[in-house]
Amino acid sequence: TMNKQIIIIFILQVALCIFCGIFYAVWFSSNKDDTDYLGWEESGDGDENGLVVFFLQMGTWMLLFANFVPISLIVTLEVVKFIQAIFIVWDEEVCDKPRDLPAKVQSSNLNEEIGQVEYVFSDKTGTLTCNIMEYKKMSINGISYGNDNLSGENLAAKKGITNVAFEDATFEKDMKNEANSKFLKLLALCHTVLVETKKGEERKFGDTLKYQASSPDELALVNIAQYCGVRFLGVSDAAIMSLDFFGTTEKYEILEVLEFSSARKRMSIILRDHQADNIILYCKGADSIIVPRLRSGQDQLVHTTNEHLDEYAKTGLRTLLVAQKVISLEEYAEWKKGEEKAQEDVNNREARLEEVYDQIERGMDLIGATAIEDRLQDQVGATIASLKEAGIKVWVLTGD
């Protein structure tokens, strides 16, 4: 605003100088013969033409009007902005109280720059939220499990299991029924998590395992399975996954891992079940991606699960659908040929692979849904409300 005002003043100053220069040139040409007492002839100015007189006088008036933009005004404004910066540093409302860190003003223009902000673009995970995922609720076979708040001590944390804040007495009673055990097995197998091991450490059967995951979401899913008694034990060099399934060790051979991506919005793993001697595909992903890939005849289950997802989403929980599909040996062998051909296509490999992956991920059975809490940072709601009250529009950008 100040720059615009200075420009306007300067334009007025130039216009006034031009007017004065023209007026003087006209007056001089009309009156130079009657003003000999001013000594034009002695100084030589009387021989100058009107254009030279105009430019000389315009420059003279520019010097006379130089105080139109007083230096003292600019200095005063800088002093005011400096004092405003001191008040920002002293303001307790913008102080990081847990660490006792005041705001730092790096530029005297900060105050007026803040006043020009109209839009704020913010990331969600880790900015508005704490990026500490805690497993809260689940929906299995049309039944929702999990409480909003723990009634007492976090038993998972007591056992050394992180990223779990789940409690439901009904689920604990029905944990080993077919639907629930199938759900837990999927969570314990459909991932790319690694077991954390320390050199020289002796581990006993039943000890709480520590995992390394690419995302806290995956860690929460594997840890809820461990908390419920279905523990992922690791992967051998021969690509064999070991599972402690309620005290019984089971082995699964990894045939394929269909990685998660922002375009796919799902992750799948194809395993050979050494116990049942069959091939099974486990998949987890966004509901908008999983639902169209389910086999027909599950309308009621899908409807009920979607209602649970809506309830979870209203409380700010991150949701996923999980599904599975039993694959015959013939179907897998045929699909594998198509996958190998797609891998050989140098020019269009990614598109061909996406088509092949989509083919095998069709006709799945819905197993359930998960809900994970990523708690908001302190004062997020009040901050957004204050920004909106100030007329600032807030846009939240997510990975979806």
So which residues are the catalytic ones? Answer: 123
- Which residue type sits at 166? F
Pick from 317, 324, 304, 138: nearest CA to 228: 138
Among the listed residues 218, 370, 351, 187, the one whose alpha carbon sits nearest the alpha carbon of residue 283: 187
Q: How far apart are the C-alpha atoms of 360 and 356, rounded to whole Å?
A: 7
Structure tokens at 210: 């520590």
Contacts of 45 (CB under 8 A, 6+ apart): 53
**Distances from the Cα of 232 to the Cα of 179, 180, 244, angstroms:** 19, 16, 6
- Taking a C-beta distance cutoff of 8 angstroms, is the pair 188, 127 a contact? no
Picking from 136, 146, 149, 142, the residue whose alpha carbon sits closest to that of residue 170 is 146
Token pair for residue 280?
């099974």
Residue 178 CB neighbour total at 10 angstroms: 8
- Residue 155 tokens, joined: 């038993």
Burial of 65 from C-beta contacts in 10 A (0-12 / 13-18 / 19+): middle
